[in-house]
Every structure is written in structure tokens, then in C-alpha cells.
Amino acid sequence: MKPFILLMLCFSTFAWGIPEADFPALWKNEALPYFQSFHNKILKNKQSLNLRIFYKIRPENHRNLVVVPGRTEPAIKYAELLYDLRYTDFNIFILDHQGQGQSQRLLKDPHKGHIINFQDYVNDFELFIDQVKELAPKHDYYLIAHSMGAAISAHFMARRPEFFLKAVFVAPMFEMNTKPYSERIARYFSRLLILAGRGAHYAPDRGPYLPEEDTFERNEVTHSLVRFEASKYLFMEYPHLVVGGPTSRWVNQAINATRKIDLLGSKIKTPILLFQSGMDLIVKPNRQETFCEKANCQLKLFPDSHHEILMEKDSIRDEALSDIGVFLGF
């Protein structure tokens, strides 16, 4: 009986993650040091930019999990998720996209979220995946990708349809909320700004990250105060990780890359679990649904969640972790 009880306790610890009541101490004293124990490496991409990747490989693990952050998110922001996965049979790999985290920025102002071509993200991701294959060549590959990371992953998976055995898309950025403009107007407007030589300027109504304006009451991504404060702590403690608003060129490239992304669904062979946020103010749901109709995809709605489902309050996050565990088989 005792081994069974111990097994159930271990499973319970994973399934529910770090409870919010214990979060500040466990996140700072256990989850962050766990992430800092990962190996890291610099890759040189096609643009001669330095990309930072992180990984933890154990000889006894026989599967590989790739985690892909969203826009502005440094890999370290996923310390809690990686800590949750510490007892699974996965080797873990995560990257900082170009222009954010510890990867090289494209502009002198490091706060600007910028890209020359959205396919540069996809090329970087393919370079990252080729490195993952070198580091862990013998086993199956799985994916968890959030927001912009899911859009990048979808483009990659259309190139290499059967690479991942299974994939989880969390609030994928398949259609941005371009308020107060429609997507069509935002596309044309951002194109005009590029032609006017303002592509590397902040998009209208966007600017640098200002800590005094980054308050829980104004946030649009989570209902969890402690997880919001943890993310803000990272930007305050490690200011070199900060990314502010996007440039006009980033907006234009992101719209161009996502406005027909649902058509990629039929090219992808990987079974996908797609999480949709019912209170999402960052991305819109329609294209998530049409993508899922074309792909080998099951859609799960979290009606009370903001955009960052895996950084939400316990009741939402625990359910998402449980669904991921069932889907990926741990």
C-alpha cells in the first residue's frame, strides 16, 4: 500500500503544480533554481544573430518535449511549467526567440519587439529543432507552444508535417486582436508606416515597457496575482529580458503570417490539443476554430481564462496541466 500512496502523492504534486498559496516561496526557491540548472547554448542563425537555447537531458528519459514561448516571453518565464514536468520521462528543450529573452536583439532599442520577416522565426525554430535532434537523436518529439510560439510552430509543422508525435497549442496567435483597428486596416496601416520609413518605430499606441504601468489591475493575461507578480519580478530583476511593444513591421509581418494560417491545418499530420481562452484580449478565437477543423485537432475552451492559460489561477491551470498530462501520456 505504501508504494501506491507515494506514487499518488507524486502524481498529485505534478497534476496540480505549485498552488498559489505556496507559490512565492516555491517559485523563487525551487522553480527558478531548477530552470537555472538547465544547460544553455548559443546558436548562430542565418542572420548571424545569437539565439539562446536551454535544455535538460537525463539518460533515463526516452521522450523529448519542446516548449515554445510567446511574444515578449523569456524562457525563464516558463520555470514553473518546467518544474512541474521534472518527474516526467521527457528531456526538455526551450528557446528564446530572436529579439527577446537572452537572444540577440535586432534594434538598438532592446524594448522594441521587431522582426524583419516572420519566416525568420520559423527558420530559427527549424535550426533549434535540428539542434534538439543532435542532442537527443533517438527518441520521439512532443511540443507545447504558446501564442506566437504556436503560430511559429504551425508554420514549421507545415514544413515538416510528421516531426512531432503530439503537440499542444495554448491560446495560439492565429488571429491577433488589432484593436482599435480591424485586421485588414491594421495590415494596410502598418504597411504604409513601413513604406514611410517607420517600420522600426513602435506601432501606434505602443511603447517601451514601463513598470509603473504594469499593474495587476491593468493586466490582460492572467487572473493570478502571484503568477503576474512573478513575471513582473523577472523583468525588474533581469531588465535585459524586457521587451515592450511591437514595431509596425512586426505587426505587419505577424498579420501576414497568420491571416491564412488556418490553411496550414490540412498540411499538418501531428495530433494537436488546442486550448482556447474564453476571455482572451490578445488573440481572437475564430481562426483557432477553423484551423482545428482542418487539422487533426481537438479544441478545449477555458471560458474563464485570460490569454496565459498556463499562468492562470490554480483552478484553470490545474485543469490545463491535467489535460496535457492525459494527452501527452504522463
Q: What is the pLDDT of residue 2?
A: 38
% of the chain at pLDDT higher than 90: 93
Contact 216, 225 (CB under 8 A): yes
User: What are the pLDDT digits (tens) for 23-74?
Assistant: 999 999 999 999 999 999 999 999 999 999 999 999 999 999 999 999 999 9
Regarding beta strands 63-68 and 140-146, do their DSSP bridges make them parallel or antiparallel, or are they unpaired? parallel
Bridge partners (DSSP) of residue 174 are: none
**Torsions phi, psi of 295, nearest 5?**
-95, 175
DSSP SS3 for 270: coil
Q: What is the pTM of this model?
A: 0.94
14 pLDDT more than 90: no
Q: Which CATH superfamily is domain 14-328 in?
A: Alpha/Beta hydrolase fold, catalytic domain (3.40.50.1820)
Average pLDDT over residues 85-97: 97
Domain boundaries, the chain: 14-328
Please give the distance of CA 238 from its chain centroid, rounded to a whole number.
Answer: 19
User: What are the pLDDT digits (tens) for 284-304?
Assistant: 999 999 999 999 999 999 999
